[in-house]
Amino acid sequence: MKTNWPTKKLGAQMKTTVMIEKRIKRGKESWIFIYSAFGILFALTAFFISTLPIIWYFKITVFMVATLILIYLCLCSVWFQNKLIGLKIKLEETWRKI
């Protein structure tokens, strides 16, 4: 009885592929800071848009677009969230030195 195992000759090279996925789970403090930054950026955006000398329905359009961009940046973009957390760490280190 002949078996087909092993299918490769001894000493033959085999290619293997390893996929590693990195996932970050943000803690409660990080999300609180991200939401706070979102609130501050949202308030500043609303203030600056309200001071623009344009017609009110253009203001609404600009406000909605800016809001969607802020939601994407603060809540969906991992790159931007990492930048915000980096800012938080930098601020904490600055306050520790004082």
Look at residue 18 and tell me if it is in a domain.
Answer: no
- Asked if residue 91 is part of any domain, the answer here is yes
Q: Supply the pTM of this predicted model.
A: 0.68
- Tell me the average pLDDT of the chain: 86
Task: Indicate the number of domains in the chain.
Answer: 1
Q: Which domain holds residue 77?
A: 28-97
Angle, helix 56-71 to helix 28-50, in steps of 10 degrees:
160
Instruction: Please give the pLDDT value at position 29.
Output: 87
Work out the angle at residue 25's Cα, subtended by the Cα atoms of residues 21 and 28, and round it to the nearest 5 degrees. 175
Q: Give yes or no for residue 1 having a pLDDT over 60.
A: no
- pLDDT, residue 21, reads 73
88 found inside a domain:
yes
Nearest by Cα to 63 from 52, 75, 73? 52
Higher pLDDT, 85 or 14: 85
Q: What is the pLDDT of residue 28?
A: 87
Question: Mind listing the pLDDT tens digit for each residue in 2-39?
Answer: 666 656 666 656 666 777 777 767 788 889 999 999 99
